Amino acid sequence: MRLLQNLLSPASPGAGGLTVLLLLLDLITPAATVKHENFKTCSQSGFCRRNRAFADDAIAAGDKWSSPYEVKEDTIALQNGVLTAEILKTVPGLQEKVVLPLTIKFHKTGAVRVTIDELKRQKGEIELKGQSKARKERYHETERWALVPDWDIRDEKVVYDNRKGQITLKFGPESKYKAIVTANPFSVKFERDGETHIVFNDRGLMNVEHWRPQPPAPEEGKEKSPEDLDGGWDETFGGNTDTKPRGPEAIALDITFPGYEHVYGIPSHATSLSLKTTKGGDGAYSEPYRLYNADVFEYIVDSPMTLYGSIPFMQAHRKGSSVGVLWLNAAETWVDVVKEKPKKILPIGGKSEDTKTHWISESGLLDVWVFLGPDPATLYTSYGALTGYTKMPPSFAIAYHQCRWNYVSQEDVKDVNKKFDKHDIPYDVIWLDIEYTDGKRYFTFDPLTFPDPMSMMKNADKTERKVVLIIDPHIKNTENYDIVDELKSKDLAVKDKDGNIYEGWCWPGSSHWVDAFNPAAFEWWNSLFTFDRFKGTTKNTFIWNDMNEPSVFNGPETTMPKDNIHFDNWEHRDVHNLNGMTFMNATHQALEARQDSKGRTQRSFVLTRAFFAGAQRLGAMWTGDNEAKWEHLQAAFPMLLSQGVAGFPFSGADVGGFFGNPSKELLTRWYQSGIWYPFFRAHAHIDAKRREPYIAGDPYTRIIREAVRLRYALLPAWYTAFHRASQDGMPILRPNFVVHPDDEEGFALDDQAYLGDTGILVKPVVSEGVETVDIHLGDNEVYYDYWTYKIYQGKGLKNYPAPLDQMPVLMRGGHIIPRRDRHRRSSGLMKYDPFTLVVVLNDKGNAEGHLYHDDGESFDYQKGHYIHRKFTFDSATKSLSSTDLHQDPPTAEAYNKVVKSLLVEKILIVGVSKAIKASVLAKSKNKATILEDGKYRKASMVYTPAQDNTFGDTLLIRNPKVRIANDWTVYLDKKDAGGAVKDEL
Amino acid sequence: MKSILLLSLPLTLAKGSQKPIVESENAAWTLPHGANPAQIDKFRPDAQNQFKCLSSPYTIPYSLVNDDYCDCPDGTDEPGTAACSYLNHTINPLPGFYCANKGHTPTYIPFSRVNDGICDYDVCCDGSDEWMGVGGVKCEDKCESIGREARKIAAEARKLYEQGVRAYRSLVAKAVLLKKEEEDKIVALEGEIVRTKGLVEDRKRELKQIEEEEKSKMATSGGGKGKHGQLLDFAKERVKEMKEKLQRLKDEREALQGHLDETEKILTTFKEEYNPNFNDEGVKRAVKAWEDYLASKTSPSTDTLDFLTDVQAMLFEEVNWEEWEPEETILDDMYAIEALLPPFLRSWVHGQLSSLHDWLIESGVLAHRKTRSSGGSGTSPKVQKATDALANAESDLSSKESELSRIREDLSKDYGADNVFRALKDVCTEAQSGEYTYSFCHLGRATQKNRDGGHTHLGDWTGFERRLDDEIEEEVLVVKYERGARCWNGPERSAYVYLRCSAEEKVLSVAETEKCVYKYVATSPAVCGSGDGEVPVPESQDEAWSP
């Protein structure tokens, strides 16, 4: 009866019937995650499958295996720092050997480039399948895009010695580097100081799939020809068939790092900084790392799966040494990593394992750069000398960016702007995703929601804020759209395999893609961004390039067919990983070319999703569409550290997580973490709830505000770190192993980092409900809590309290940190504010730091209009002095006048040593003596003792008013400075 | 930030270890920049020419006030500069830099905006926030023109407000009348209900009488078995018939269930495998509809499973007819045979299965079949007639009763202060915003209409609450519209109408503040009684400072 009464309750009989019917069903599916089936595994990618099998066979054969490549000794020649020779490949069943021209180039910095081509293809003596218009050569233009224009500076002093099938080349600084080429089978060993650091073809896995005509299908019952490679002539995946007009053409090489237990780099993967092995086993991956720029929807963490961008640079590191390789190939690439106990004697400092890697690319040259270190800093500098250093960004670009898909109208934008000010949270840039356009036509604004974009730009500009607009490479294929009309009429789009304009689907529906490999496309693209042409934009408008892998919704693996044809008839296969960077490059150049009414230009800011080695010269990247989950917050730091290692440190992850809705705790922790991302932007999916920092309410909003303010206070330190990256490639956010290259316990650490040279060590909280964290100290130097000056000392793990409103931040002794403490609405409005110098003394009572400063927007810094200071605190003289690091001081004079009014308002010395304290308190009467412009004056000092010996004491110099552009010295205990000393409090 | 370092300086100075650096002459003393004249005494130097920090127990030499360096731990020594702007808001008791704004309203501007090179006329019309002229900025005093403009706007707003108050009064008067009407209806209905109840009683008596007459007829006529036997046969037949029907419906149900399972499986695969990046509106709509459908499904309750088991059991249950063979005085029990299938169960099972059947026909899953005639009843025409008469009376009664309870409920509903919204019932207002036209009807529905005439249901009226209207920084009455159409991948839509006082019903703006949450700002005389949206005419004299 109970049952029936309950059932009698439905309000309407219809609903009752429906209920009865549906009650038995429960078909609600679990939440979606990455669509694995949309992306290939190695075994689904013919050339990867073939080369992995080749490697398995070679390894299984053990000592019986012989690599079929041999240097033909009478072809060897050395001229102007370039060695040339022919490698012969023996093919079973073929009389004729395949000729593979070898080039070894020696770069001035000590880097070496080994290139292997294929003679028949160089000469064009091959037949293509079908009517293909594709080029016959192996693609050799990667260097044109990836390397700096003047990369080819040779080491002319190479010493060459050829005996008994072994060629020894001495090169590099003081000729301490050696490359030993063994002729048969071909291998190359790279030595530094008598130790082997890198070996090519150590395991005999080298493979150059030479061109061959497609063998006829085998007769029934007969085995197919060994030349008929599996998946070599066409390949179907997800309903798309790749016609492979040149047949199989993969190249592969094994590269061994003897005695190196850790390898880093080859971003972008959502994985640890120290790369895991890929051939199965505990905690290891079973797939190789894949580099094939792709729009991976809802990507998963802890995976070697490919992501949006790729940099084929790998660093191997051990105590006492760091070396690296750049695999200069932009085709689809897979990298296997294994670690094995070495058979041979260990090099000094080497651990018990060798790291052995196996690189496989689908097409193009076998082209590898080797860098012999010897330490991380030198390695990054020599890698950057080739691929370029981080572009000096406009200063707003390193402040806080507020993004969302989408701010729906210009009123919405103004409202968000107003609310940030109301809640006193600084921000510099507001972003507009695709919905601002008129029907996804780039270079237009929706007339209903953004009828007057100029007023929106001006409103932002009132407080020196910027607007970033998204412009993607897919151009809507529609009527009455001048951009697509020009794209077609000027013939600047990517073609399909038959040479017709390629049509695919993306946000606008049917679209065409700009071919930024075409120089004419660059020119055209430049013309689209002028203020006259792109109506509604002005000098505070900048650009975001998304979807440039390229993302093609209906393409294979959500990208372009590999047999598409680019400018000069290169196949998309050859250039895929370069594609995004060329597009970004076009946008970058277009923005730099924009001129205001007075003809002035300014630095560009472009954010890209796809990238390749060299993209650091053009702008910033972010890690793509992450999720509002703790594991994605955890994944961000290792990913960004990896970007730094690979020379592209201007990187960020979407704060808050793109997909989904973060809890208030997650959002708050993400901000506390995000303020340490070189590129600091919050972003959210269109289906996610609004989550601007003022929405959560206190205490969350208050905590987020304090975090963002810390980022702003430290902007001088960030800008200085960017400057260093722009000069010598040092990462901005540095992992423990870079700062402490001999701290073996910290080689795999990727959840804490140092900010530039400031000695600021952060370990963001990335787990839910955490109250404390353990910070690893990489040395025995003294470290102070950023706020309380509590002392942390002694190598190893230190426990740090980290409730929600506290960020684990330490200051390492021996550094001087430049800050600007005053709170403003945007970084642009801080331009007249004074600086604070925090002098954190080391165990010996010394400290050193740097400050780089310029106008933050123009190119005048290239003319010398900048300030670059070195601050030194010397315990012997008890003085802090500022000296000039400017490369050409006379060129700075004009700018020095401009910044004459920029002063230091506060000098805070942390960890005052007993000797200094005693002497200062005895002699100085709480007055510091300042020497500036040849004159002496005084400033008040306040000594604050530590509450006990677990804290640092401080000495504050009040308002010394020294100019940041000047040389000056502040003496703590100078009693008499000779003559009249002006008192100044 | 810990303030160890901040505490230290004033502390040492307060000990009197140092002489004041600059002797200021009281005669020449003026109120520091950014300080409120109402606090003049707090900012005056003391006899030793010292300044006492406002909320911390330290004193500093007066020369350090507004010297662009933050000395007081509470930041009060810099009322006129941004030097203390780095302090957390809660530390500094000063609300900001005081702009006198002579000719307009004095106000405070946050310290973070002082001396940053920007003339913040929207707050400081007198330009006094940029007194240091950093970067060469000069902000002239614009209070005269800005103040004039503001007063003009305020006067207009005041006028509108006053009109609104008048409109409000007439709305209230109308609402009183409407309420009275409803109350009158109650009185009338109550009387009618009493009468109808009497009628129902009469009809019941009549029916009982007729039934008894019919029973006695039955018992005395008929074949060898007598009426009892006839009834028993009849019952057997009916039970058999019921079972067959039940079985048939069960079979149909299972077949349909199969169809449905298959369809849902197709759709589930469809949802899993479609490419969400492909942004095909048609596909997105289909997936959304499917998700809505899934979301609106109730999870199976054990009760229902029990019910299905019961139906199953009932099909196989055999009645021991022998127990029902006639005995002596069993006449009344004869009717109890219906207990085999209790009437409510029988009708309900029928109801459920036939409504399911109807629903499936409506949705096109099943072909339409002719309804069976409900004939075959063994009731006599007389009884039938009496039964119908009773049913009519009862239905009349119940409709009157439900009308009564509807009116009573309506009267107990919250129609806002003075019942004012009663007078606005079904009054609709709309406005264009972006590509849509947004409308809402008082006590009705909020709707989003697109250019091609499509409508999206944003929610139905659910009541009122008070919320902060952050544009005018006042708490206002918000009318809630909830449980609208479910969003793609999101919640059910809802709309919140923030009302400000005006004589006119007008939508000022609509924004989607959250995914699928719409914020309307509208004017209505309905809120003119509560002071909402009242615009005070700005005063031109200084207002007193209160901490």
For residue B353, the model assigns a pLDDT of: 56
pLDDT mean across residues, chain A: 93
Whether residue A25 and residue B89 make contact (CB cut-off 8 A), yes or no, is no
Nearby residues of B63 by Cβ (< 8 Å), 6 or more positions away: A985, B20, B21, B22, B24, B49
Q: Which domain holds residue A522?
A: 471-572+592-603
* pLDDT, tens only, A378-426: 999 999 999 999 999 999 999 999 999 999 999 999 999 999 999 999 9
User: Which among A375, A392, A460, A379 has a CA at the least distance from the CA of A420?
Assistant: A460
For residue A21, the model assigns a pLDDT of: 34
In the block, residue with structure tokens 């309870």: B405
Q: Of the candidates B89, B115, B141, which is a domain's last residue?
A: B141
Q: How many CA atoms lie within 13 A of A689 on its CB side?
A: 13
For residue B332, the model assigns a pLDDT of: 42
Nearby residues of A92 by Cβ (< 8 Å), 6 or more positions away: A226
Q: Which of B110, B294, B310 sits opposite A27 (nearest CB)?
A: B294
**B149 lies in a domain?**
no
Note whether A859 contacts B: Cβ–Cβ < 8 A.
Answer: no
Statement to judge: residues B276 and B303 lie in one domain: yes
Whether residue B135 and residue A832 make contact (CB cut-off 8 A), yes or no, is yes
For residue A735, the model assigns a pLDDT of: 98
Q: Of the candidates A359, A387, A415, which is a domain's last residue?
A: A387
Statement to judge: residues A86 and A208 lie in one domain: yes
The residues facing B468 across adjacent strands are B475
Statement to judge: residues B250 and B373 lie in one domain: yes
Q: Copy the structure tokens of residue A123.
A: 């000469």
- Residues 284-343 in B contacting A (C-alpha not used; CB under 8 Å): 294, 297-301, 303-307, 310
Chain B residue closest in CA terms to A835: B83
Whether residue B9 and residue A954 make contact (CB cut-off 8 A), yes or no, is no
Whether residue A25 and residue B261 make contact (CB cut-off 8 A), yes or no, is yes
In the block, residue with structure tokens 């050799």: A140
Is residue B468 over pLDDT 80? yes
Statement to judge: residues B246 and B335 lie in one domain: yes
Note whether A409 contacts B: Cβ–Cβ < 8 A.
Answer: yes
**A642 lies in a domain?**
no
Chain B residue closest in CA terms to A510: B278
3-class DSSP assignment, residue A483? helix
Statement to judge: residues B383 and B454 lie in one domain: no
Chain A residue closest in CA terms to B432: A448
Statement to judge: residues A146 and A266 lie in one domain: yes
**B468 lies in a domain?**
yes
Whether residue B4 and residue A954 make contact (CB cut-off 8 A), yes or no, is yes
Q: Of the candidates A366, A387, A408, which is a domain's last residue?
A: A387
Statement to judge: residues B398 and B442 lie in one domain: no
Is residue A576 over pLDDT 50? yes
Is residue B182 over pLDDT 70? yes
For residue B389, the model assigns a pLDDT of: 87
Whether residue A23 and residue B299 make contact (CB cut-off 8 A), yes or no, is yes
For residue B306, the model assigns a pLDDT of: 67
Min Cα separation A453/chain B (Å): 14
Statement to judge: residues A208 and A351 lie in one domain: yes
The residues facing A163 across adjacent strands are A166
For residue B352, the model assigns a pLDDT of: 57
Q: Which of A3, A509, A688 sits opposite B303 (nearest CB)?
A: A3
Provide the 10 A C-beta neighbour count for residue B5. 18
- Residues of B in Cβ contact (< 8 Å) with A412: 511
Q: Copy the structure tokens of residue A421.
A: 């000010």
Across the A:B interface, residue pairs with CB atoms under 8 Å apart total 202
* pLDDT, tens only, B103-152: 999 999 999 999 999 999 999 999 999 999 999 999 999 999 999 999 99
Statement to judge: residues B513 and B398 lie in one domain: no
Q: Which of A242, A625, A855, A973 is catalytic?
A: A625
- Residues 935-964 in A contacting B (C-alpha not used; CB under 8 Å): 940, 942-944, 947, 954, 956, 958-959
Whether residue B356 and residue A956 make contact (CB cut-off 8 A), yes or no, is no
The residues facing B499 across adjacent strands are B522
Q: Which of A191, A202, A472, A549 is catalytic?
A: A549
Q: Of the candidates B409, B439, B463, which is a domain's last residue?
A: B409
Number of domains comprising chain B: 3
Is residue B343 over pLDDT 90? no
Statement to judge: residues A493 and A599 lie in one domain: yes
Cis peptide before A699 (omega within 30 of 0): yes
Q: Copy the structure tokens of residue A189.
A: 């060993």
Assessment of whether the complete model's pTM goes beyond 0.90: no
**A98 lies in a domain?**
yes
**B186 lies in a domain?**
no
Q: Which amino acid, residue B329?
A: T
The contacts found for B49-58 with CB under 8 angstroms, 24 or more apart, are: B49/B20, B49/B23, B49/B24, B50/B20, B51/B77, B53/B10, B53/B77, B54/B93, B54/B94, B55/B93, B56/B10, B57/B14, B58/B7, B58/B10, B58/B11, B58/B13, B58/B14
Residue from B1, B4, B498 to probe the interface with A (highest A Cβ count within 10 Å): B4
> Predicted confidence band at A5 (pLDDT cuts at 50, 70, 90)?
very low
Dihedral sign, Cα of residue A125, residue A129, residue A135, residue A138 = negative
**A675 lies in a domain?**
no
Statement to judge: residues B134 and B21 lie in one domain: yes
**B273 lies in a domain?**
yes
For residue B298, the model assigns a pLDDT of: 65
Min Cα separation B509/chain A (Å): 10
What's the mean pLDDT in B274-300? 73
For residue A399, the model assigns a pLDDT of: 98
What's the mean pLDDT in A574-580? 98
- Residues of A in Cβ contact (< 8 Å) with B119: none
For chain B, percent of residues with pLDDT exceeding 90: 36
Whether residue A25 and residue B297 make contact (CB cut-off 8 A), yes or no, is yes
Is residue A951 over pLDDT 60? yes
Q: Which domain holds residue B333?
A: 206-409
For residue A197, the model assigns a pLDDT of: 97
pLDDT mean across residues, chain B: 79
Min Cα separation A788/chain B (Å): 6
Note whether A459 contacts B: Cβ–Cβ < 8 A.
Answer: no
- Rounded to two decimals, the ipTM of the complex is 0.89
Annotated catalytic residue A625: yes
Statement to judge: residues A354 and A479 lie in one domain: no
- Residues of B in Cβ contact (< 8 Å) with A713: 86
Statement to judge: residues A272 and A367 lie in one domain: yes
- Residues 348-387 in B contacting A (C-alpha not used; CB under 8 Å): 348, 351-353, 355-359
**A296 lies in a domain?**
yes
For residue A881, the model assigns a pLDDT of: 97
For residue B4, the model assigns a pLDDT of: 36
Note whether A983 contacts B: Cβ–Cβ < 8 A.
Answer: yes
Whether residue B515 and residue A687 make contact (CB cut-off 8 A), yes or no, is yes
Q: Are B500 and B521 in contact (CB under 8 A)?
A: yes
Number of domains comprising chain A: 3
* pLDDT, tens only, A8-42: 333 333 333 333 333 333 333 334 467 777 899 99
- Residues 540-569 in A contacting B (C-alpha not used; CB under 8 Å): 551, 553-554, 558
Is residue A730 over pLDDT 50? yes
**B170 lies in a domain?**
no
Statement to judge: residues A145 and A46 lie in one domain: yes
Note whether A789 contacts B: Cβ–Cβ < 8 A.
Answer: yes
User: Which among A867, A860, A914, A909 has a CA at the least distance from the CA of A887?
Assistant: A867
Annotated catalytic residue A549: yes
**CA R_g for chain B:** 40
> Predicted confidence band at B341 (pLDDT cuts at 50, 70, 90)?
low
Whether residue A954 and residue B298 make contact (CB cut-off 8 A), yes or no, is no
Annotated catalytic residue A70: no
Min Cα separation B489/chain A (Å): 7
Q: Which of A18, A23, A408 sits opposite B512 (nearest CB)?
A: A408
The strand order across the sheet containing B455-469 reads B428-433, B436-441, B445-449, B455-469, B474-483, B494-501, B517-524, B506-514
- Residues 9-68 in B contacting A (C-alpha not used; CB under 8 Å): 9, 12, 21, 61, 63-64, 67-68
For residue A721, the model assigns a pLDDT of: 98
Note whether B254 contacts A: Cβ–Cβ < 8 A.
Answer: no
Q: What CATH number does the domain containing B453 carry?
A: 2.70.130.10
User: CA-CA distance, B101 to B409, in Å (whole number)?
Assistant: 54
Whether residue A690 and residue B260 make contact (CB cut-off 8 A), yes or no, is no
Is residue B20 over pLDDT 50? no
**A107 lies in a domain?**
yes
Note whether A507 contacts B: Cβ–Cβ < 8 A.
Answer: yes
- Residues of A in Cβ contact (< 8 Å) with B85: 822-824
User: CA-CA distance, A148 to A111, in Å (whole number)?
Assistant: 14
Statement to judge: residues B378 and B404 lie in one domain: yes
Whether residue B118 and residue A415 make contact (CB cut-off 8 A), yes or no, is no
**A851 lies in a domain?**
yes
> Predicted confidence band at A447 (pLDDT cuts at 50, 70, 90)?
very high
Statement to judge: residues B282 and B342 lie in one domain: yes
**A164 lies in a domain?**
no
Q: B472, exposed or middle or buried, with CB in 10 Å at 0-12, 13-18, 19+? A: middle
Statement to judge: residues B102 and B129 lie in one domain: yes
Min Cα separation A810/chain B (Å): 14
Statement to judge: residues B373 and B458 lie in one domain: no
**A420 lies in a domain?**
no
Is residue B533 over pLDDT 70? no
Q: Which of B118, B279, B301 sits opposite A23 (nearest CB)?
A: B301
Whether residue B511 and residue A553 make contact (CB cut-off 8 A), yes or no, is no
Query: Measured in whole angstroms, how far is the alpha carbon of residue B213 from the centre of its chain?
Result: 59
Q: What CATH number does the domain containing A252 carry?
A: 2.60.40.1760
Statement to judge: residues B257 and B401 lie in one domain: yes
For chain A, percent of residues with pLDDT exceeding 70: 95
Residue B402: enclosing H or E segment and its boundaries? helix B381-412
Residue B228: enclosing H or E segment and its boundaries? helix B226-273
